[in-house]
Chains A and B, each alone.
Chain A
Amino acid sequence: MIHLDKVYKNYGDFQIQDLSLEVGTGEYFVILGPSGAGKTLLLEMMAGLEVPDSGHINGLEKRRIGLIYQDYMLFPHMNVFENIAYGLTIRKEDKQKINTQVQEVSQQLGIAGLLSRNIHTLSGGEKQRVAIARAMVMRPEVYLLDEPTAALDLSTKIQIQRMILELHKKDQPTVIHVTHDFEEALAMGDRIGLLFSGQLIQNDTPEKVFNHPVSKKAANFLGYKNVFSGRIKDHLLNINGIDITTPEKQAEKAYIAVRSNDIILSKARLESSARNAFSGRVIKGIKRTNHVEMIVDIGVWLYVDITYQSFREMPLDPGSRIWVTFKTSAVKVFLH
């Protein structure tokens, strides 16, 4: 169990503010937050490389730690083998043992053919594999990953994500993974901590974090595209003349967010229990990899994600009349 108790650190431009956190042994914990939120600093404190101004970090003393940075930090004056062997060499293991272990790890990560290569001849994905191998060969109990896929192209990124997940499944180390990419967080974490300006504003399962954002800022960051503000009276929030039914009864100033895949498009008004049904006009459809993002004007612009099949089958040319429907429970309300 790793335990952070009211950790505070002032680092000039930003601070980690009284951050408390528990991560269980073998857990995959993702710290999700925008750049400049203090994520790297937090990891470096956990690795014992930076010292908190106040507060305590327990459970990491004398544990073997594997620290992996976004930009690999492979030693440029050593080749791939020497990089992977670095920690074992420091520990003065005998040559035979170093050789076997480096071979073993590099086979597992698919880089056995690269051992004699120079660092600067490697691709980004290869570099990250070498960096992971260099940490892995030390058999760490805790991995600290600092944006491990941020510098990679999409397909390499997915490969590296899979590799890390397999590694976690096989050896069950504790992983603390820092990222700004909410899809990566959702895909990888057992639990997600949302870090904004040095503060942990939410700490829950991926489902909870994504379905129940705690603030407008969190909702925006988690990819909610329909975020509005206004006053709620008798469950109704009025924006530009339309009344959206919300689960909250009264609020002087509130924010609401609706996920773009919680909204249904239909040709005619749906006979349903959903309280929010509005007529609107199609502005345009934006084609994404796995869905089409429709923009519909109902008095305000709503973003609605639909499948390619629906996009082909429905009359969705710009200007077409269309109905949008969503349940009250799809409306998330925050006061800040």
Chain B
Amino acid sequence: MKAKPVFYFLGTLLILFIVIPVFRMIFSVTPQEAGSALMEKELMGSVLLTLRASLWATLIALVLGIPLSFILARHHFFGKKVIEGLIDIPVVIPHTAAGIALLMVWGRESVFTKITGISIPGTEAAVSIGMLFVSLPFLINSVKEGFKMIDVRYEKTAVSLGASPWKAFTSVSLPMAKKSIISGSIMMWARGISEFGAVVILAYHPMTAPVLIFERFQNFGLDYAAPATVVLILITLVIFVILRAVGDKQ
């Protein structure tokens, strides 16, 4: 038996499994319905909130996560495997459980709120916190692999030419890892946008697009949820196609 046709066949099954629901969804709505959904203030507001909150989460992760990824890629130390395992926790635990765990730390009764007097739940910050928690591993792991691929002798060469370790990092390692940083950021942002479980528990309001869709489906059924769903799918698809194209060009 030839492997190639079989592989193609099996692969096609999987691709169809992804593509059919997405297209079935998109074509279930008339252009008029989709158009009026685009004009709808509540929906567009929640879409923008979703994009924005996930962007904040990604920016925070970049600032805190690039140094961590670099350390994990370059240094060997006792307990490194444990830390790498910890970073993957958000991927393996159910996201509703993550939301509840986050509520213990950031909720109204939390130590954080008692000390600072700032109440997080129900704010845009809460949305970002939920997204940050669940999507962080995508950025860290991608950037870490990016740094690992750079021969450490590039940095050594830079240092031998008079660069400080910090300068070697910013002028050599960082630009050389640019591609992984960009693709990791896109992955993380995308993962943040699609997050439902953690966000719905930490911040039912303000409503992100996934929460809004869920609420409409719960209260009014499939027909009413469909236009919003299509709009969200189309907007995210367009953004990611553009970002992928820009990322590949780099």
* One of A83-91, A106-114, A204-212, A238-246 contacting the partner: A83-91
B159 touches A49 (CB 8 A): yes
**Using Cβ atoms and an 8 Å threshold, which residues of chain B touch A73?**
151, 153-154, 156-157
A86 touches B161 (CB 8 A): yes
Report B179 CB to chain A, min CB distance, Å: 10
Contact sample, A vs B, 9 pairs, CB 8 Å cutoff: A44-B156, A69-B153, A71-B151, A73-B154, A77-B176, A86-B163, A90-B161, A135-B161, A138-B161
A138 touches B157 (CB 8 A): no
Report B149 CB to chain A, min CB distance, Å: 12
Q: Which of B158, B161, B163, B175 has the most CB of A within 10 A?
A: B161
Interface residues of A, Cβ cutoff 8 Å to B: 44, 47, 49, 65-67, 69, 71, 73, 75-77, 86-87, 90-91, 134-135, 138, 144
Report the nearest B residue to A131, measured CB to CB. Answer: B157
Contact (A67, B156) CB under 8 Å given A73-B151, A77-B176: yes
Report the nearest B residue to A146, measured CB to CB. Answer: B153
A66 touches B160 (CB 8 A): yes
B156 touches A91 (CB 8 A): no
A47 touches B160 (CB 8 A): yes
Answer yes or no: B44 CB below 8 A from chain A CBs.
no
B160 touches A49 (CB 8 A): yes
B172 touches A75 (CB 8 A): yes
Report the nearest A residue to B172, measured CB to CB. Answer: A75
Answer yes or no: B167 CB below 8 A from chain A CBs.
yes
**Using Cβ atoms and an 8 Å threshold, which residues of chain B touch A69?**
153, 157
A69 to B159, CA, bound (A): 14
B156 touches A49 (CB 8 A): yes
A75 to B157, CA, bound (A): 9
Contact (A87, B161) CB under 8 Å given A75-B172, A76-B176, A77-B175: yes
Report the nearest B residue to A76, measured CB to CB. Answer: B176
A-B contacts at CB below 8 angstroms, number: 47
**Using Cβ atoms and an 8 Å threshold, which residues of chain B touch A77?**
175-176, 178
**Using Cβ atoms and an 8 Å threshold, which residues of chain B touch A49?**
156, 159-160
Report A35 CB to chain B, min CB distance, Å: 16
A69 to B176, CA, bound (A): 18
Answer yes or no: B162 CB below 8 A from chain A CBs.
yes
Report the nearest B residue to A50, measured CB to CB. Answer: B156
A75 touches B176 (CB 8 A): yes
Which of A65, A71, A75, A76 contacts B160 (CB under 8 A)?
A65
Report A333 CB to chain B, min CB distance, Å: 42
Interface residues of B, Cβ cutoff 8 Å to A: 151, 153-154, 156-163, 167, 171-172, 175-176, 178
**Using Cβ atoms and an 8 Å threshold, which residues of chain B touch A138?**
161-162
Sorted nearest first, the 5 A-B pairs with minimum C-beta distance are A87-B161, A67-B160, A73-B157, A77-B175, A49-B156
Report B74 CB to chain A, min CB distance, Å: 13
Report A133 CB to chain B, min CB distance, Å: 12
B157 touches A67 (CB 8 A): yes
A242 to B150, CA, bound (A): 58
Report the nearest B residue to A144, measured CB to CB. Answer: B160
Report A87 CB to chain B, min CB distance, Å: 4
A141 to B167, CA, bound (A): 23
B161 touches A134 (CB 8 A): yes
A65 to B159, CA, bound (A): 10
Report B216 CB to chain A, min CB distance, Å: 47
Report B175 CB to chain A, min CB distance, Å: 5
A69 to B160, CA, bound (A): 11
A47 to B161, CA, bound (A): 10
**Using Cβ atoms and an 8 Å threshold, which residues of chain A touch B171?**
86, 90
A65 to B158, CA, bound (A): 11
Report A82 CB to chain B, min CB distance, Å: 10
Report A63 CB to chain B, min CB distance, Å: 11
Report the nearest B residue to A67, measured CB to CB. Answer: B160
A65 to B161, CA, bound (A): 8
**Using Cβ atoms and an 8 Å threshold, which residues of chain A touch B162?**
87, 90-91, 138
A44 to B151, CA, bound (A): 14
A73 to B157, CA, bound (A): 7
A86 to B153, CA, bound (A): 15
Report the nearest A residue to B153, measured CB to CB. Answer: A73
**Using Cβ atoms and an 8 Å threshold, which residues of chain B touch A47?**
156, 160
A66 to B157, CA, bound (A): 9
Report the nearest B residue to A49, measured CB to CB. Answer: B156
